């Protein structure tokens, strides 16, 4: 069975500071990993995904994440926070890309940006 | 651009009412999903469908049913709404071979 743990339900950083949102996963097979973002009153939007290949994945809006198999982690980072980054972020894991594959979502981390 | 639309952004229903939540996608995707989102619990899968007239239970199907009569439309049905079904409901779609899902804007349902 797969699972995702997001450490910290709420993270607050100053504008211009480093953003680090933590995600650890559990999977019995090589995982597909995702970060989604949800802005207020909107649906989820894909930030980035890891399937195979390069372990450092770059996404939209300057975010990136690194797949570390030895640590079962997929932390999301951005070097310099912007006010527009305030949103809820979800880490997710899937066991593949077949029609039978499902995505398991973490409980979410709300990111606040202080002026 | 993939577009997933949901029939209502906000809905208020009374306990015991039958509730229909509609989702339409315009990209000819085979797979469609219904989730509910609650604070601190993330997204939980209610039902999903691989194709027309096909449906599979997700992790929390109790109290819900679904209908997929056309490829582009996936309906979530609450046969007799209860207050514990007050939640945000999100619809998503994907194509086989691509696990990435595209989400609609959500329907915030309040059952009083």
pLDDT tens string B25-54: 998 889 999 999 998 889 999 999 988 989
User: Tens of pLDDT along A54-99?
Assistant: 889 999 999 999 999 999 999 999 999 999 999 999 999 987 766 5
Please choose, from the candidates A69, A63, A82, A49, the residue with its C-alpha nearest in 3D space to the C-alpha of residue A20. Answer: A63
pLDDT at A40 over 70: yes
Q: Chain A: nearest CA to B44, how far in angstroms? A: 7
Q: How far apart are CA B101 and CA A17, in angstroms?
A: 30
Q: How far is B44 from A105, CA to CA, in rounded Å?
A: 7
What per-residue confidence (pLDDT) applies to A54?
A: 87
Q: B98 vs A46: CB contact, 8 Å cut-off?
A: no
Contact of A92 with A105, CB cutoff 8 Å? yes
Dihedral angle over CA of A91, A12, A18, A104, nearest 10: 0
Name residues whose C-beta falls within 8 Å of residue A80's C-beta, 6 or more positions apart in sequence: A16, A17, A18, A62
Q: Measure CB to CB from residue A101 to each of B99, B102, B105 and give the nearest one.
A: B99
Instruction: Check CB contact under 8 Å for A9 and B45.
Output: no
Residue B106 and residue A43: Cβ atoms within 8 Å? yes
């Amino acid at each position: 069975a797969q699972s995702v743990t997001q450490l910290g339900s709420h993270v607050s950083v100053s504008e211009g500071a480093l953003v680090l949102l933590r995600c650890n996963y559990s999977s019995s097979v090589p995982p597909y990993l995702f970060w989604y973002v949800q802005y207020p009153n909107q649906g989820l939007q894909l930030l980035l995904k890891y399937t195979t290949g390069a372990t450092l994945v770059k996404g939209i809006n300057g975010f990136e994440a690194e797949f570390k198999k030895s640590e079962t982690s997929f932390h999301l980072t951005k070097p310099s926070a912007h006010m527009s980054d305030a949103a809820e972020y979800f880490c997710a894991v899937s066991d593949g890309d077949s029609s039978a594959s499902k995505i398991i979502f973490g409980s979410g981390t709300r990111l606040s940006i202080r002026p | 651009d993939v577009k997933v639309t949901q029939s209502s952004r906000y809905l208020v229903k009374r306990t015991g009412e039958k509730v229909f939540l509609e989702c339409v996608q315009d990209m000819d995707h085979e797979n469609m999903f219904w989730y509910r989102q609650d604070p601190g619990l993330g997204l939980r899968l209610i039902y999903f469908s691989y194709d027309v007239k096909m449906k599979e239970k997700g992790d929390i199907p109790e109290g819900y049913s679904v209908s997929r009569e056309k490829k582009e439309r996936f309906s979530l049905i609450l046969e007799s709404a209860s207050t514990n079904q007050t939640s945000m409901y999100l619809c998503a779609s994907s194509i086989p071979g691509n696990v990435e899902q595209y989400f609609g804007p959500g329907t915030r349902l309040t059952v009083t």
